[in-house]
Copies of this chain bind each other. A is one copy, B any other.
Amino acid sequence: MITVTTSPATAPARRDAEATKAAILRAARHLLARHAHADITLKAVADRAGVSPPLILKYFGNKDTLFSQVMSFEADAAALLDAPLENLGRHMVRHVLLSQTRHGADPLLRIVFAPLHGEQGDILRANFRAQVGDRLAARLSGPDAGLRAELAVSALLGLGVMFGIARGTHLRAADLDDIADRWAPAVQAQLTP
């Protein structure tokens, strides 16, 4: 049973706010992939998102909090790691493949576009290691949990690069569960060896 908890008047407004926030984050992400953090003005983000600068301030407070959301992997990691440990390898492989087929990208792949030099790349890398690698490692038992977590994440990163960037024809033609059957064991072997 679906319970309607919002009035007809507030539901579209809330949906509009979410869509506007998403457009602002997309615009900031687009500009960050092309310019140094310090060179990007709120006005440039606003222009690209088709909103006014004060609206960005209303939703995100200031430029720093906006960019901290753009450079965070927190929400992505929560979805990626949302499964019991004994089934986590398969869940993560499916999550990457579903994200690729539905959205043409996957949440981990953003690290690939991190600039190799400069502060912005360093922040992205530090966030990625803490919010994805360390968070996974904290769930693992036994020795070398940090290294095993990084290898498990490597398997997911490689799958995303081969699917979304190299566009491997066999991978893109294969059934999602067939790929998971073949690839999840490599991930799971690092989680529960």
Query: Which residues of A are at the interface with B, using a C-beta cutoff of 8 A?
Result: 111-112, 114, 116, 125, 128-129, 133, 144, 146-151, 153-159, 161-162, 165-171, 174, 179, 182-183, 185-186, 189-190
For A174, what are the chain B residues with a Cβ–Cβ distance below 8 Å? 147
A189 to B155, CA, bound (A): 14
Contact between chains at A186 and B155 (CB < 8 Å) = yes
Residues of B within 8 A of A146 (CB): 169-170
Closest to A144 in B: B170
Docked Cα-Cα span, A170 to B147, in Å, equals 5
A171 partner, pick from B111, B151, B171, beta carbons under 8 A: B151
Which residues of chain B are near A114, meaning CB under 8 Å? 165-166
User: Which residues does chain B contribute within 8 Å of A161, judged by CB atoms?
Assistant: 111-112, 154, 157-158, 161
The CA-CA distance from A123 to B157 in the complex, in Å, is 22
| A144 vs B116: C-alpha distance when bound (angstroms) | 36
CB distance from A149 to the nearest CB of B (A): 8
- Knowing A158-B159, A159-B154, A162-B150, the reply to whether A133 touches B168 (Cβ < 8 A) is yes
Question: Are B133 and A165 touching (Cβ within 8 A)?
Answer: no
Residues of B within 8 Å of A150, CB to CB, are 162, 168, 170-171
Distance between A81 CB and nearest chain B CB, rounded to angstroms: 17
Which of B112, B128, B165, B190 contacts A182, CB < 8 Å? B190
Complex formed: what's the CA distance from A156 to B155 in Å? 8
